[in-house]
Structure 1
Amino acid sequence: MQPLRIAFLVIAVLGVLLSAAARLLGLPPEVVRRLRIIGLSAALFGIAGFWVLALASDH
């Protein structure tokens, strides 16, 4: 697997972990909401990047 694809996969996993951990940290609700948005955005970015590189490598 290409290193860039691995990097996008790592970004996606870290985004999901940040989103899940935000609720468990006992932070104020507004901070949890912002961290979850950041985490889910990172996860979507990672998945999209991985998917685009996978499609590009097929051609």
Structure 2
Amino acid sequence: MSERTYTVQGMTCGHCKASVTEEVGEVSGVTGVDVDLESGKVVVSGEGFTDDQVRKAVEEAGYQVV
């Protein structure tokens, strides 16, 4: 199992957190998503997912990985 941390710009509320969690959670191989609104950090755990897949999922939720 691997764990990667991403910085996501623009998240400010519970809806933001839920949107990012849902979209990233649907990426193949992702088993866990932890969003910290205060720091803007998103910790993704699992096996077989790529940075590009996570970036696209974050963009689908309406935010940007920086």
Same fold (TM over 0.5): no
TM-score (norm 2): 0.28
TM-score (norm 1): 0.30
- Which one has the largest radius of gyration? 1
> Which structure has greater strand proportion?
2
> Which structure has greater helix proportion?
1
